[in-house]
Structure 1
C-alpha cells in the first residue's frame, strides 16, 4: 500500500493536471494542510516535497507553496468530434482490423499502438510468490479438470476485492474467463443473434468492433467525445433501433479516456431497465484510475439485472495474465448450462495465484503504486507529444485514468498512410479510421502511454511528427 503522503500527493497532482488547481495558485501552508487532513507535519512536508520533485509545485521563500505554471498543458486543446446519425450499420474494415491486431503482437515493433503496460510495471516477484504459495497449499482436486465457472477461491477473492472498493458481487454470480474479450464474446452470443444490432459509442475500441464484426453483429453508433457520450441519443437508440444490447465502457474508455459521472452511470442503468436493453459493461480500465480510489461501475446502480459486468486484469497487472470474468445477474441464471459449455476452462494455478495475490493484498499494493506512476507518465507523454508536433495544429485527450492517448491531427492527414509509414520504421500505431465508420476519425491515431517514455519512444514520436509536418507543408496548411 502506498504511504499516506504519496496518496495525498497523487490527489493534488490530479487536481493540478485537471486544472482544478490553477497555475500560480497558493497551496495551504504546511500546518494548515496537516490539520486539514489530520496528518503529521512531517507527512505534509513529504507530500509537498514529492510534488516539488515532480515539478508540479514550487516554493517561494517566506511566501509558501504554489502550483507550477504549465503553459503547454493549458495550450493543448482536446479533440473535437463529429455528430452523425445513429442507425444500424455493418462494420467495415474487418481485414484491416485483423491486420492491425496482428501487428500489435509483433514484439519487434516499438509499441506505440497496442494499449499495454510496460513489463517494468508488472510486480513479477509478488506474482511469483503468490503462485508458489498457491501451489504449495492447493488440493489434489485442483490438478483435475476444473470448474468451468472458475475456482471458488478466485471468485471469493474478487468478490471481497470489489466489496472493499464499494460494490458487492456474490461469488456465485462470477464466472472466470480467459480474459475480457472472451467474456464479452460469450455474453454477446447469448444476448443477441447474428444480424442484430449492438449499441456502441464511437470512437470505440477497435478490438470490440472487430469482435462484433466476427460475430456478424451490426452496430448503432452513439457520438462520443472526451467528456463521455450523449445519453439522450443512447436512450433514443434503445427505444427506436431495435437493439437488445449495448456494449459500453464507463470508466476510462478506450480510446478517449473519459470517466462518466455517477449520475450518468445511474441513468444508464435506469435506461437499461426501462427499455429492457442489456448493457454489457467492459470495465477493464477502472483500476488504472489516476485517483487513489477506483470509480464505481454502472453495475453498482443495476437493480433489475440488465447490466452484465465484464473485465480482466490485463490492463492493470499484465496483458499476458489471461484471466478475466463476467458476472451473471440472477434472472439470467437460466443461461448457466449454455455459458458453462461455451466458457473455456482457465488455468487453475493462474487462478489460485491471482486469488493469493488479492488475498495477500499484494495486488492492492501494486495498484496503489501503479496509479501515481501512470498519471505522471501519461502527462509526460502529452507534454512530449505537444513539443514534438510544435507548429502543427494537433489536439490531444487528457485521460482521467488508463494510458490511451487520442491524437487528432489536421483534417488532411491520412492516419492509415501514417500507420504504414510508421511500420516501415518499426513503429506500431493504430489509425483512427478503425474506431468507427465513415472514415470519421481518419485524421486521428491512438497511442499507448503504458511504456516508459524512453529515448527510443521519443525518437518514434519525433518521426511521426516529422511526417505529419511534411504532409502539412506539402498541402500549405501548417
Structure 2
C-alpha cells in the first residue's frame, strides 16, 4: 500500500527533476499545502519530511520550505529519431546479438549493459522470510510435479495484486512462466508461423529482436521516439501488411522509457479488435514507475480479447527470480493444451515464496520504497552523464520509469566501435545497432542505471566520454 504522503512526495520530486520546480523556489507552507491537497497537517508534514530525507528540499527557519540547490539539475536535448517506411524483413545481426547477450551476463564486467537492478535494491531479507514461511507451510503435494499453468495460489495472488492497481485478470487466464522471454516465446510460437511478420516499434529491446530471429519470424518496424510511436503508422501496418501479431510495450519501453497515454492504450486495443491483430503486451517495467501509481496496461481496455498480457518480476524484484506470466484471453482458450505442453513448469517453492511476499504486503512495500530510489538514481545517472560528456552534442532520454537510458551522439560516433572499446576495458554497454535494422541507431548506445552510481561506474562513464571526444577530434582533424 502506498501512503498518501509518499504519493504526493513522488509527484513533487518528479516536478523537481523535470525542472518544473527550480532551485531555491519556495514551496507552499504546510498549512497551504494541506488545504490545496485536502490533507491533514500531519500528512503534509510527512510529505515534506520525506522530500527532505531524499535531499530534494530544505526548511529555512521562519521562512518555509525551498527546493534544494546543492544538486545541479541540467537539461539536455532528447534524442531525435529517423522516420522510415518498413517492409517485412528478417532480423539481422543475430551473431552480434548473441555476443552481446553473453557479455550482458558476465559479472566480471562493469554493469552498464544488461538492464537489471543492483542486489542492494533487492529485498533480500523479505524474500528469505517469505521463502522460509512458504517452505514451513508446504503440503506433501507441493513436492510433486507442479501444474504447468502455475501454482493456483500464485495465480490468485497475481490476480489480487493487479486488482489493487486497477485492472482485473481472472486466475484461470494466467499462466506462470520462467520469466518474460519464455512467455513471449511460447505465445509467438502458438499464434504465428515461421516466416510470419511481427509488428513492433523501434528502437526496440534487442532481446526481443534476438528471440524473433531465433524463431524465424520477420519484423515490420514502426518509428518510435521518447514520446511513444505513431498510432497511425501502427494502424497502417495492421491494415496493409498482412501481419496478425504486434509486440508492444506501453509502459516504460526499453530502451526509450516512454509511457503511452491512456487514450493511446485504449486506441491500440480498439485497433487490435478492428483488424483482428493480436497485441502481445510486454509490461515488464510497469512496476518501476517513478510515480506512486502503477500505469494501466493496454490489457485494461481489451474488450474483444486480442491483447495477451505478459511480464515478470525480474525488473521490479530480482533478475534471478525467474517468475513471469502470460495471460490468455478466452478467444485463445483453444490453445490451452498446446500451451500446457510447451510451458516449462516453474519451481514450486519459488512460486510459493512469491505468494507469501505478495500476501504479506512485503512486495507492495518493496515497490513503494523502490520507486523513489529508482527515480533519484536514474536522475543521478542523467546528471553525471551530462557532466561527463561536456562539449559533446550528446542527446539523452528522460524516462518516466524503468532504468534504461538511451544516448545519442553525433553521426560520426560508431556505437559498435564504442562497444568494442568498452569491452577492452571490462565495461559492458549495448550498441544501438542491435535495437533495429538498417543501422539507424548506430550512433546510439543504451546504458543500465539499475546499479548505484559507484566510483567504478563513474570512472567507466568518464572513459567512454574521453573516447567519444577523441573520436570527434580525430574526425574534425581528418
2:456 alignment partner in structure 1:
456
Deviation at 1:32, TM superposition (A): 1.0
Distance 1:256 1:163 in 2: 28
Structure 1 window deviating more from structure 2 (399-408 vs 130-139): it is 130-139
Q: How does 1:243-392 map to 2 (within 5 A)?
A: 243-392=243-392
Q: Is the 8 A contact 1:286 1:295 kept in 2?
A: yes
Residue 447 of structure 2 aligns to a residue whose secondary structure is strand
Secondary structure class of the residue paired with 2:476: coil
Report how far residue 4 of structure 1 moved. Answer: 4.4
Task: Give the count of matched residue pairs.
Answer: 478
CA distance in 1, matches of 2:95, 2:79: 27
* Distance across 2 between alignment mates of 1:7 and 1:269: 29
Range moving further from structure 2, 50-59 or 459-468: 50-59
Which 5+ residue runs of structure 1 have no aligned equivalent?
A: none
Q: Take 1:59 and 1:354, find their aligned partners in 2: how far apart are those partners?
A: 41
- Which segment is superposed worse, 64-73 or 110-119? 64-73
2:135 is matched with: 135
Q: How does 1:388-467 map to 2 (within 5 A)?
A: 388-467=388-467
Equivalent residue, structure 1, for 2:28: 28
Cα distance in structure 2, aligned partners of 1:74 and 1:384: 10
Task: Tell me how far apart the structure 1 counterparts of residues 110 and 387 of structure 2 sit (CA, whole Å).
Answer: 20
How high is the TM-score relative to the length of structure 1? 0.97
* Matched-pair contact (CA < 8 Å) for 1:173–1:328: yes
> 1:80-119 to 2 correspondence within 5 Å?
80-119=80-119
Deviation of 1:40 (Å): 3.8
CA displacement, residues 362-412 of structure 1 (integer Å, 9 cap, x when unaligned): 000000000000000000000000000011110000000010000111110
1:50, CA displacement in angstroms? 3.6
Deviation for aligned residue 1:41: 2.9
- What root-mean-square deviation, in Å, do the aligned CA atoms of Structure 1 and Structure 2 show? 1.8
Q: Give the alignment of 1:23-172 within 5 angstroms.
A: 25-58=25-58, 63-68=63-68, 73-172=73-172
Q: Is contact 2:2–2:292 with CA below 8 Å preserved after alignment?
A: no
Partner of 1:11: 11
**Which residue of structure 2 aligns with residue 196 of structure 1?**
196
Q: Secondary structure at the match of 2:156?
A: helix
Aligned-pair CA distance for 1:89: 1.2
Over 3 Å counting, the alpha-carbon distance change for 1:130 and 1:49 in structure 2 is closer
Distance in 1, matches of 2:73 and 2:220, equals 35
State the Cα distance separating 1:90 from its structure 2 match: 1.1
Q: How many angstroms does 1:243 deviate by?
A: 0.5
Q: Is the 8 A contact 1:72 1:386 kept in 2?
A: no
Distance 1:40 1:393, change over 3 A: same
TM-score (norm 2): 0.97
Task: Note if contact 1:431-1:444 (Cα within 8 Å) is conserved in structure 2.
Answer: yes
